[in-house]
Amino acid sequence: MPYTQDRVHEIVQAQRRFFRTGATLDVNWRITQLKKLKQAVLDHQQMLEEALYEDLGRSPVEAYLCDLGPIIVEVNEILRGLKRWAKPEKHFSGLMCFPSTRTTVYKMPYGVSLIISPFNFPMLLTLGVLAAGICGGNTAVIKASSKSAASTRALQKLVADTFPEEYVTVIDGGHDVADMCLAERFDKIFYTGSPAVARHVLEAASHYLTSVALELGGETGNWCVIRKDANLQDAARKIAFFKLCNAGQICININQIAVAEEVAEEFLTELKASFIRQIGEHPETNSEYPKLITGAVYDKCERLTREYRDRVIFGGAGCRETNRFAPTILYPVTMDEEIVRHELFCPILPVVPFRDTEADRVMEVISGREHPLAMYIFTSDMKWAERVMSTQQYGGGCINEVCIHMMVKGVPFNGTGHSGMGSYHGEWGFREFTHPQTVLKGRTRWNLSLREHPYSGDAGKKKMALLKLFEK
């Protein structure tokens, strides 16, 4: 049934009524819902895997590795920590507040949340965010991507089989339906996608001053920097795996590589060999290799390959019938070319050579662009690597590794600026979906006149002396 503004409004209002019953405030009740979510993923695993194959050509192993397994890990982490995270904090009120001695900070849910999820990891970036919303005590309206239609249908069934609509529901449709959702008053919005659409989300949220979290890929893409002292075979193996994963359609994927020219040829030889070893010489015809989400993305790959045909040193072929396009290396590319100044979100991989002695200048150029969601460095110089990683601005990253920083338990995930705002995973997701409310418990006896007039004369002098004493 097509959605209308009235229908969307009805869903939001029903969730608001349900939230106001107070049912979601009970932490034990939330734990029960999280267990239901986890079991639903397990019970619907085959359906979810089939949907991921239909939309993105994912094999069952890759589907579980990238989408389904991390949901289970996320829920398990929340189940272990939720009671501790949600426990109200007790604080001493301080001498300035005498005779009050106790202040409590309650971790309150925002209320009715809107989760707008993307096509590239349609299960993880929907149900993983939902888990954070549930653990915070919120209800959720989920606007799933119309590009990954099979996955959206699967999500609708899973959620409808598990939760009542007034608690959690999945809405499908295109940008028009998303705008219907954004026209409603929500208490929290979590959007995953592009910076361009994020601006639209923020503009809509500003009408109601709604709290927003954004997980974005970054305007100018994620860099991988390879110094001449790096283990080139190790770097090539990891980069090849990562670029093959979901055919490059990953917000934290490597958008472009900067490699020391002293070892560039050796590295590229290793990278080509790693691609072939992992997926074969013709990945575009390999059913295990994921496909592109739409024909438009395929057209972009073809266009870029044509534009850089004299610099295609690997790949460059595709199969329009299956919508698969081989990982394609472009070399050499300069740091000022347009292709390395925006996110590609596909299997095209520009490679920029630089003199190893100019590594700091490369990092300066990167830092002068929009903040990326991820940063990757391969080197044996840990002092340099740690200095760079502790002074650059980006979402997260790795030294001599790719992508798995986001799988570490207990740490936040997200970007900054054009790569996002807010954070989630584990306790950070709980914090993102709750508001800390401070409540001081006053007393009716022994109240001092310190804060009351008069402020002049001897009384004022005594009060000033006490105020400065209490500040210590």
User: Is the confidence at residue 54, as pLDDT, over 90?
Assistant: yes
Find the range with the poorest average confidence among 68-77, 141-150, 442-451.
Answer: 442-451
Which CATH number is 5-217+420-435 given? 3.40.605.10
pLDDT of residue 96: 86
Instruction: Count CB atoms within 10 A of the CB of residue 356.
Output: 16
pLDDT of residue 449: 85
SS3 154: helix
Q: What is the DSSP letter of 370?
A: P
What is d(CA 415, CA 437) in angstroms, rounded to the nearest whole number? 26
* 389-424 pLDDT per residue, tens: 999 999 999 999 999 999 999 999 999 999 999 999
Q: What is the DSSP letter of 396?
A: E
Residue range 6-29: average pLDDT?
98
Of the pLDDT bands very low, low, confident and very high (cuts 50, 70, 90), residue 175 is: very high
What is d(CA 143, CA 115) in angstroms, rounded to the nearest whole number? 6
Mind telling me the catalytic residues? 215, 251
* pLDDT above 70 as % of the chain: 100
Q: Residues of CATH 3.40.309.10 domain(s) within the chain?
A: 223-407
Q: Residues of CATH 3.40.605.10 domain(s) within the chain?
A: 5-217+420-435
Radius of gyration of the chain measured on its C-alpha atoms: 26
What is d(CA 185, CA 109) in angstroms, rounded to the nearest whole number? 16
Find the range with the poorest average confidence among 41-45, 93-97, 345-349, 402-406.
Answer: 93-97
**String of DSSP letters for 160-182:** HHHS-TTTEEEE---HHHHHHHH
pLDDT of residue 1: 67
What is d(CA 275, CA 284) in angstroms, rounded to the nearest whole number? 12
pLDDT of residue 472: 73
Average pLDDT, the chain: 97
* 223-277 pLDDT per residue, tens: 999 999 999 999 999 999 999 999 999 999 999 999 999 999 999 999 999 999 9
Of the pLDDT bands very low, low, confident and very high (cuts 50, 70, 90), residue 2 is: confident
Q: Which fold has domain 223-407?
A: Aldehyde Dehydrogenase; Chain A, domain 2 (3.40.309)
User: Is the confidence at residue 326, as pLDDT, over 70?
Assistant: yes
* 192-231 pLDDT per residue, tens: 999 999 999 999 999 999 999 999 988 899 999 999 999 9
Query: β-pairing, 328-330 with 312-314?
Result: antiparallel
Tokens of 81: 């920590």
Q: How far apart are the first and last CA of the chain?
A: 65
* 294-311 pLDDT per residue, tens: 999 999 999 999 999 999
User: Is the confidence at residue 73, as pLDDT, over 90?
Assistant: yes
